[in-house]
Chains A and B, each alone.
Chain A
C-alpha cells in the first residue's frame, strides 16, 4: 500500500472538515479514492456516480490528467500527489 496526498478544491472541503488536503492509500487511483471514501463517505457521491467519475470531475497525478495515463487504474507510488478539480471550460 502506498500513502498518497489528495488535494481538494474549495467545493469539497466541507466534506473533510475544511482542510485543503487529506491522506489516502492504495496501489491505484481508484483504490486511493475508495480509501478516501471510507474515511469521508460524503465525498463518494460528489466525485463519482454509477458510471465512475462524474463527467466534470478531473483528477491529476502530479501535473498529468489521469485520462492521459491509465484513468482510475493508474498506479500510484508512496508520496504521490493527487489533485481533484472541477473541469473548467477555459477560453
Chain B
C-alpha cells in the first residue's frame, strides 16, 4: 500500500513523508501511515509476496520506500527453526526460533537499516549516521558501503571490540562517545538538529521502525500464513516489540492471516529493565534507569517506545520479564546446547525469559511459541568465555590416552 503521510502517535497530527521524527506540537513519535488496505485482494497480495525476492523486499507493498536501491545487501528471510530439544527441556509444546543472526551483518538491525537507508537515499541524503549499541552501527556501516554512501556511527566508547572492528572495517567513521548509550542518543539528537545528516534512528526513525515489521511478516509466512500464539521478543527501546504487533495487525487487516494477535511477551536484562519494572508495577510510565548489564545491545535506560510496548503486552496477554546476568549467560549456553545456535547476550536475555515464562505456565495453553533471537554470539564472545573449559594435551597418542584415563577412573 503506498505510504500516505507521517502521523503523530500521540496527538495524530499529520506530517509529510520527510526526515521528521517528533511531533512539533507534543514531541510524540511520528509513524508512517499507509493508504487503506481495504478492497485489496488478499490472494493477489500473497502472490506478489511469494513472487518477490528472498529478502525483506518481498514485503515492499508494506514498506515506505518506492523501490529498494540496486546492489543492496539482502536483509531478512532468516530461518524459522523448530526447536524440539529446547522445547522439551523447557516443557513447551511447540517452540520455534527465529534466528536473526543469519542476516548480512548478523543481527535484526539489517532490516531497519535496509529500509531507512533506502528512504534516506530517496530523500537525497549523502551522509548516514546512527546512535548505536553496536549492532546498528555494524549494519549501517555495511549497508552504506554497499550503497556507496558515507556512514558515521556514534557508539559508547566502551563497546565490545568485536562490534567496533566489524563496523570500522566497512570504512565508516566510528566515534566512540565517553558515556552511556542514552548519552550517545542524546548527542545524536542534538547533532541531527545542526547537520544535514540522516540519522537512521533519529530523523529517519519512522522509516527505520518500519523495517522491523518484516520480521513478523516472515514469521507469519513461514508458519504457512498463520500467527503463532506467543511471541517472545527482547526489548531495548521497545520498537521491535511494538512493530511486530503492528505488522501482524496489518496482515490481519489485509486478510493474509486470521485469528488473534499473539501474546506479545517482552524480555529485558535485570540491569536495565525500565519496561519490565513498569510492567510488574502496573504502571504505564517507564522510569529511566542507568544500565548495568552484560546485555549491552539492550542497554537503553530511557526507552521511548516503552509505553507502547507495555500497552501491547497487556492488551495481548503478554508479560514483560527481566533476566539477571547469570541467567543471560545460562540462556546463551542453553540455546547453543539444544539448537546449535550461538547468540549474543540479547539472545541470552530472550532465552532466559522464555524459560521463566515456561516455568510459570505462560505457555500451558499448548500454543506455538516463537522466540526472536536477534543477534550473533561471535559479537560478544567475552560474555560467556568463562563458561568454557579447554583440555590441553601433548600431541602423542599416549598423552591423549593418559588424558582419557584421568576422566574415567579405573
Q: Which residues of A contact B (CB under 8 A)?
A: 7, 9-12, 14, 20, 45-47, 49, 54-58, 60, 63, 65, 67-68, 83, 85-91
Contacts and interface: CB of A to CB of B under 8 A. Distances in A.
A46 B26 contact: yes
A10 B348 CA distance: 39
A12, A57, A83, A89 interface centre (most CB from chain B within 10 Å):
A89
Contacts of A7: 190
A82 B21 CA distance: 22
Given A63-B179, A90-B300, A91-B136, 20 more contacts: A9-B189, A9-B193, A20-B193, A45-B25, A54-B26, A56-B22, A65-B302, A87-B27, A87-B304, A88-B185, A89-B201, A89-B238, A89-B239, A89-B300, A89-B304, A90-B182, A90-B185, A90-B237, A91-B239, A91-B240
Given A88-B189, A88-B304, A89-B305, A46 B182 contact: no
B279 interface: no
Contact of B28 (A9, A20, A56, A67): A56
Q: For B27, B240, B303, which residue has the most chain A Cβ atoms within 10 angstroms?
A: B27
A33 to B, nearest CB: 14
B395 to A, nearest CB: 48
18 contacts: A10-B193, A20-B193, A46-B25, A46-B26, A47-B27, A56-B22, A56-B304, A63-B183, A63-B186, A87-B304, A88-B185, A89-B201, A89-B238, A90-B201, A90-B300, A91-B136, A91-B201, A91-B237
Interface string B1-42: 000000000100000000001111111110000000000000
Interface in B174-232: 179, 181-183, 185-186, 188-190, 193-194, 201-202, 205, 209
Contacts of B307: 55
Interface residues of B, number: 46
Interface stretch (B59-67, B285-293, B310-318): B285-293
Contacts, number: 103
A89 B303 contact: yes
Given A56-B27, A68-B288, A86 B302 contact: no
Nearest to A14: B24
A88 B21 contact: yes
Contacts of B131: 88, 90
B190 A85 contact: yes
Contacts of A89: 29, 201, 205, 209, 237-239, 300, 303-305
Contacts of A57: 27
A86 B300 contact: no
Contacts of B186: 58, 60, 63, 65, 83, 85
A58 B112 CA distance: 25
A89 B302 CA distance: 8
A7 to B, nearest CB: 8
